[in-house]
Amino acid sequence: MTYAASDFTVISDDTISRPSADALDKLWAALNDYQYLRVQFTKKVIESECIRLVAARRTQATGLEHQQELIHCLTIGPPLFVARSESKRATRVYRVVVEEDLDNNNLNAPLPVRVYALKDLWHEIGRREEVDFYDLVARHCAENGIDMEKAGMARCHGNLNLDRPGPHLIADWDLASHGTAKRHHTRILLSPVGRPIHEFPSTMKLAAAFHAAVIHLKIAYDAGVLHRDVSANNVLLVEDPSSKISGFLVDYDCAEMTENGVKLFNAWFNARTRASWKESKQSLLDRTGTFPFMAIEMIEANEPTTADDISGDRDSSEGAVDGDADMDVDSDSDSAHPDDEEDDQEPSASPSNKRHDLHHDLESIYWVLLGTLLAIISSDPPEKRTLFRREITCVPIVKKAAYGALRTLFQVLASLVNKQNPMNAWDADDPTPAVQIEYDHIHAAFKAAVESDAWPLVDDPAEPYIPNRTDDMSMESESAHEISSEAGS
């Protein structure tokens, strides 16, 4: 059998193996319930790409502190995401089913067999586990009658630290090979499965996906969790075309708790490592996220900025929306097994004089949406501010009736972001006070857009594009507007 997707991983990881022929036959049969996957992959591709990974799943779907059991995940197709080669987290995301669910004698198996996303990464020791943020949001939803599945929210179904699996999980692999002095190897079982936002099937569904992400941000915030990395790879479309929800927010790698979140977490999860508001408060000063999509204030927070910096013409380097989720400020270097013998200090997020809050994440929604249509977005604050001098650069939608809803949406979002970052905010003589973006305002803008009739009568999907990488790409160029003016169609 030929393995194209993960030869290196299969060879070097003793928790990854090749599935049996019988397991592959059962996997192919199970995909009868997912015709969109059958159309996407032939049986030959399924067999050539499939690997078998050890993971863990909670024994009760709603149990956040219940016992887990070891499972084996079979991948469907190539990885959904592979981090850049320099990322120490070495993140990979797979589309999987649980092999044990394919057993006809397993009465507890879901019907149809459920498709998950399996996130495999090397987690930095000392940084709070991502599962804690997922579980805090989930407990908040349970306490407040919020149906996470109906809302289309990302949910965690299991978490396995391969170097210390826990007292109830019997490991038959070499624990030492899955941990170093700085990191441990982790797998997180998640749902739903997503696909890149730039593959949107229509501009209306694109807006609906961002609407869902805005709602998810607020629910997480009410639970006491700030996402802090709203980016092109963390707002996803739901892969299953039968889903009533277009998109969702994912990835709490950079998340942090609010003061209320710390109190709730310690009350609800007293068996886990306690949260500290003193530590979280300090962490919220860190400048964390994906640069092109970060709020202007957080980029500028620890930089000396004057009115001359904002109004002057400056050369800048553009960050392309190239679908790399590890392009954050504290992103790491990549290998299948990070070598802690190397003399490379872990880059840390830059401390700022502004504390991250919900309005910063809401601003990022605008930058990600803008970047999705333009394919290029500046990470330079003064250049970002200049976008609002002309409508053509901050509202890149043609004046056509079919795009009325999208154009109006952009006009409202641009206005909100502009008011949050006024051009003369740094003018010592006559500063304009910033007006923070409120959830109700941005939610209302998206709700009005998705409920509007002013959309194309036929789907206008995104076309494949190759970002134009040059040293100096002006967001005010007519060519950038022309490329995006048909709203991705």
Residue type, 456: P
Per the CB < 8 A criterion, the answer to whether 89 and 125 are in contact is: no
Residue 334 confidence (pLDDT): 33
C-alpha span between 11 and 276 (Å, rounded): 41
Question: Which residue in the block uniquely carries the two structure tokens 């003018």?
Answer: 427
**Least confidently predicted of 274-278, 335-339, 407-411:** 335-339
**Could you tell me which of 170, 152, 151, 150 has the C-alpha nearest to residue 160?**
170
Question: Using one digit for the tens of pLDDT, what is the confidence trace for 222-243?
Answer: 999 999 999 999 999 999 999 9
C-alpha span between 357 and 418 (Å, rounded): 17
Residue 389 confidence (pLDDT): 87
Is the model more confident about 292 or about 480? Answer: 292
Per the CB < 8 A criterion, the answer to whether 384 and 472 are in contact is: no
Q: Among residues of the chain, what percentage have pLDDT more than 70?
A: 78
Buried-exposed string 5-35: b where 16+ CB fall within 10 A, e elsewhere: bbeebeeebebbeebeeebbebbbebbeebe
C-alpha span between 301 and 314 (Å, rounded): 19
C-alpha span between 293 and 232 (Å, rounded): 8
Residue 372 confidence (pLDDT): 93
C-alpha span between 368 and 154 (Å, rounded): 19
C-alpha span between 486 and 466 (Å, rounded): 17
Residue 344 confidence (pLDDT): 32
Q: What are phi and psi of 48, to 5 degrees?
A: -75, -30
Question: Using one digit for the tens of pLDDT, what is the confidence trace for 315-350?
Answer: 322 222 223 333 344 444 333 333 333 333 333 455
The pair of structure tokens assigned to 179 is 């941990």
Residue 100 confidence (pLDDT): 95
Q: Is the peptide bond before 79 cis (omega within 30 degrees of 0)?
A: no
C-alpha span between 286 and 226 (Å, rounded): 13
Number of neighbours of residue 430 by Cβ within 10 angstroms: 7
Is the model more confident about 259 or about 108? Answer: 259
The pair of structure tokens assigned to 16 is 């990854």
Question: Using one digit for the tens of pLDDT, what is the confidence trace for 115-153?
Answer: 999 999 999 999 999 999 999 999 999 999 999 999 999
Per the CB < 8 A criterion, the answer to whether 226 and 265 are in contact is: no
Residue 430 confidence (pLDDT): 65
Residue 101 confidence (pLDDT): 94
Q: Give the chain as a 3 state SS string.
A: CCCCCCHHHHHHCCCEECCCHHHHHHHHHHHHHCHHHHHHCCHHHHHHHCCEEEEEEECCCCCCCCCEEEEEEEECCCCCEECCCCECCCCEEEEEEEHHHHCCCCCCCCCCCCCEEEEEEEEECCCCCHHHHHHHHHHHHHHCCCCHHHHCCCEEEEEEECCCCCCCCCCCCCHHHHECCCEEEEEEEEECCEECHHHCCCHHHHHHHHHHHHHHHHHHHHHCEECCCCCCCCEEEECCCCCCCCEEECCCCCCEECHHHHHHHHHHCCCCCCCCHHHHHHHCCEECCEHHHCCHHHHHCCCCCCHHHHHCCCCCCEEECCCCCCCECCCCEECCCCCCCCCCCCCCCEECCCCCCHHHHHHHHHHHHHHHHHCEEECCHHHHHHHHHCHHHHCCCCCCHHHHHHHHHHHHHHHHHHHHCCCCCCCCCCCCCCCCCCHHHHHHHHHHHHCCCCCCCCCCCCCCCCCCCCCCCCCCCHHHHHHHCCCCC
Residue 331 confidence (pLDDT): 40
Residue 108 confidence (pLDDT): 67
Q: Among residues of the chain, what percentage have pLDDT more than 90?
A: 64
Q: How far apart are the first and last CA of the chain?
A: 40
Provide the pLDDT confidence category of residue 356 given band limits of 50, 70 and 90.
very high
CA angle 120, 155, 141 (to 5 degrees): 150
How many residues does the structure list for the chain?
A: 489
**What pTM, to 2 d.p., does this model score?**
0.84
Residue 339 confidence (pLDDT): 36
Mean pLDDT of 407-417: 97
Mean pLDDT of 435-440: 97
C-alpha span between 451 and 232 (Å, rounded): 24
Residue 324 confidence (pLDDT): 36
Question: Which residue in the block uniquely carries the two structure tokens 């504290």?
Answer: 330
Q: What is the mean pLDDT of the chain?
A: 82
